Structure 1
Amino acid sequence: MRETLAMPVARARRATPDLAERLGEHVVAALIEEATLAPKPGLVDIRSRGAHHDLDWELMCVSALALQPTFTELARAGQEMQPMQSLQRMQSLRERIGAIGRDGEARMLDATQGVNTHRGAIWALGLLVTAAAADPVAPANPADRTPHGIAARAGALARLPDRHAPALTGNKGERACLDYNVGGARGQAQAGFPHVVNVALPELSRSRRRGDSETAARLNALLAIMASLDDTCVLARGGPGALAELQDGARRVLALGGAASLAGRRHLKLLDRRLVELHVSPGGAADLLAAALFLNRLHREAAPTTQA
């Protein structure tokens, strides 16, 4: 099944895709890499459903592949984003990508028969892929092509209002933001994805430099996000108590040497067991890890010899 799911991406790659198609492929690859990574505490991965009863690895991959046209379309919209663009045109772009994202959510629900697999990822990675496709002032300002530069542009888009978006959706994450006074996915995006560029990517680089396996490095990046993120997926299901257990547990794994150490792996398994008992799943952290993997893919493509 894994080979079958990978075929559409592989075929598209052989056809020498344009920039928007390539960016769409990178998003889908990042989503599948996140879904496959194991063992992730409380989350769906290739070995387990985590704390879910309606999700599994195969469904997550089906959803990711179904969303590839959405992310490609978002990238095409982003290619029209120019430096010093007028506020009116930026507003128009924001509303356009909002409409594309809502269509993508409908496509996702159709592919999964109504199961929410990637709603948060459509928001986060949709903004990032739009921003990544923009033509910044490089080479005059090459920093605009870095993960920080892309995240900053995505944040600027996220801060613009979308007149056509519903005022309230009734989603669990939205209710958790209101109940517990946290920013959630919207606040993370509007701030320029600090947990991606200041937490996950540095941990990914640090773990690789010390010789951790790629799996361990990615798990450590996920744990670093979990250790401080006010994850609305956890708050919605388990409240502040469950969030505190998650954050404390993630910090403990990292303090014991992370996923590459024997003690860290043992505590990671205990954390997974506890989250399943609590029936909580840190989906917000998973979305941000996928975002970090996407930006890291772009960084490595731009500088293939780097190990960051």
Structure 2
Amino acid sequence: MTRRHDEALAQAAVDALTVQLALAPKPGLPDPRDLAARTTGRDHRSLRWSAKALAPGLAAMAASARRTGAPTPHLRAELGAIGRGTEHSVALAGGGHRGALWTLGLLVAASALTQGAGAREVMAAAKRIAAHPDRRAPLRPSRGSTVSAKYGAAGARGEARAGFPHLRRALDALTVSRSAGATEPQARLDALLTVMSTLQDTELLHTAGPLGLRHVQEGARRVLDAGGTATKAGAEALESLDADLQAREWSPRGSAALLAGALFLDARQGREELRDQPQRTRRPQRWPNTHLVSGHHPHLTP
């Protein structure tokens, strides 16, 4: 593995985040409809711009994992230090993406450790990295960890240490929705709602409390129970949920970060499957809207 591979992993992660940002309508979250940041507190275009600032830090995380070669405490400390520097760079570019940086950083590092492995193996490696404490972390707790302690929620750290169960659910939802004939945007929205329906999102706990979190989870389940976003009833339920979260100014940002992670793994898995096909079965393929992402992968093309 070389520096070029490190940069490719980083770019794939930024691409996944960019595709997540482009997805609409995301209930309570920034998307292309946000011309004035409405209730989400951040403008979609500024978030797309600041997402690019993640790339150097993510590439450095991949390089650190490649050099270390194992999910050691030393690697965990290096990733933490790189992450804090990257947070500063992203803040200068407009801010945002802290949750996505944690998830994507672990997945990029784990991908560098498990070259060519599938999504399950990558998540298992990320779990082993996250199991180590960050001994260089600031003593002052983050807002997420404070909320996790207050309400007994797993939070981003607990999600990673559990092996990213919500990433697995999102990947399964993508597969099921695609098999049922959903379009790519519909499948991704179903994956987002699947995460929202059960995740103890610390951002929602902070802004809405436990009852608000339950309200959002139930709203997401209503969309899925109606048949998902590919159905008329599901689309109407999604529209209602989106209007509700806008009015309440609630934003499930933790779920959005995990969707970006799922899209990263999904695209990586798709590339591995294509690479492993016998040479005689490969055919040139054209995918629409490939300008949205590098790599021209169908699963990341809206």
- Sort the TM-score into its range (normalised by shorter chain): 0.7 to 0.9
Code of the aligned partner of 1:303: E
Code of the aligned partner of 1:186: R
- Residue 106 of structure 2 corresponds to residue 127 of structure 1: yes
| 2:219 corresponding residue in structure 1 | 249
Does the 8 Å CA contact 2:9/2:108 hold for their aligned counterparts?
A: yes
Alignment length, in residue pairs? 275
Alignment of 1:104-253 (within 5 A): 104-112=86-94, 115=95, 117-135=96-114, 145-171=117-143, 173-197=144-168, 199-253=169-223
Deviation digits for residues 220-247 of structure 1, max 9, x if unmatched? Answer: 0000000000011111000011111111
Task: Give me the whole-angstrom Cα distance separating, in 1, the residues matched to 2:182 and 2:46.
Answer: 29
Code of the aligned partner of 2:273: A
Normalised to the residue count of structure 2, the TM-score between the two structures is 0.87
Task: Identify which of 233, 240, 261 aligns with 1:263.
Answer: 233
Cα distance, 1:80 vs structure 2: 2.4
Does the 8 Å CA contact 1:43/1:50 hold for their aligned counterparts?
A: no
Does the 8 Å CA contact 1:238/1:279 hold for their aligned counterparts?
A: no
Deviation digits for residues 41-66 of structure 1, max 9, x if unmatched? Answer: 0000111346323x111111111101
Cα distance, 1:134 vs structure 2: 1.1
- Residue 40 of structure 2 corresponds to residue 52 of structure 1: yes
Deviation digits for residues 204-231 of structure 1, max 9, x if unmatched? Answer: 0110111100000000000000000001
Deviation digits for residues 165-220 of structure 1, max 9, x if unmatched? Answer: 0233342x2222122111100000111111002x1000001101111000000000
Cα distance, 1:79 vs structure 2: 1.2
Moved more, 55-64 or 298-307: 298-307
Question: Can you give the 5+ residue segments of structure 2 that lack an aligned partner in the other structure?
Answer: 278-296
- Residue 13 of structure 2 corresponds to residue 27 of structure 1: yes
Aligned-residue Cα RMSD (Å) equals 1.9
Does the 8 Å CA contact 2:53/2:90 hold for their aligned counterparts?
A: yes
CA 1:51–1:227: 2 relative to 1, 3 Å: same
Does the 8 Å CA contact 2:114/2:122 hold for their aligned counterparts?
A: no
Runs of 4+ in 1 over 4 A off after TM superposition: 305-308
Task: Give me the whole-angstrom Cα distance separating, in 1, the residues matched to 2:208 and 2:123.
Answer: 30
Task: Give me the whole-angstrom Cα distance separating, in 2, the residues matched to 1:50 and 1:263.
Answer: 26
Alignment of 1:284-295 (within 5 A): 284-295=254-265
- Residue 20 of structure 2 corresponds to residue 38 of structure 1: no
Does the 8 Å CA contact 1:75/1:133 hold for their aligned counterparts?
A: yes
Does the 8 Å CA contact 2:3/2:63 hold for their aligned counterparts?
A: no
Task: Give me the whole-angstrom Cα distance separating, in 1, the residues matched to 2:8 and 2:110.
Answer: 14
CA 1:98–1:170: 2 relative to 1, 3 Å: closer
Secondary structure of the 2:238 match is: helix
Deviation digits for residues 15-43 of structure 1, max 9, x if unmatched? Answer: x9821111011000000000110000000
Does the 8 Å CA contact 1:120/1:284 hold for their aligned counterparts?
A: yes
Normalised to the residue count of structure 1, the TM-score between the two structures is 0.85
| 2:84 corresponding residue in structure 1 | 102
Higher RCO (CA 8 Å, separation ≥ 6 residues): 2
Q: Identity over the aligned pairs, expressed in percent?
A: 40
Code of the aligned partner of 1:76: A
Task: Give me the whole-angstrom Cα distance separating, in 1, the residues matched to 2:298 and 2:44.
Answer: 28
Task: Give me the whole-angstrom Cα distance separating, in 2, the residues matched to 1:262 and 1:256.
Answer: 9
Does the 8 Å CA contact 1:79/1:135 hold for their aligned counterparts?
A: no
Code of the aligned partner of 2:73: Q
Task: Give me the whole-angstrom Cα distance separating, in 1, the residues matched to 2:68 and 2:185.
Answer: 35
Task: Give me the whole-angstrom Cα distance separating, in 1, the residues matched to 2:240 and 2:91.
Answer: 33
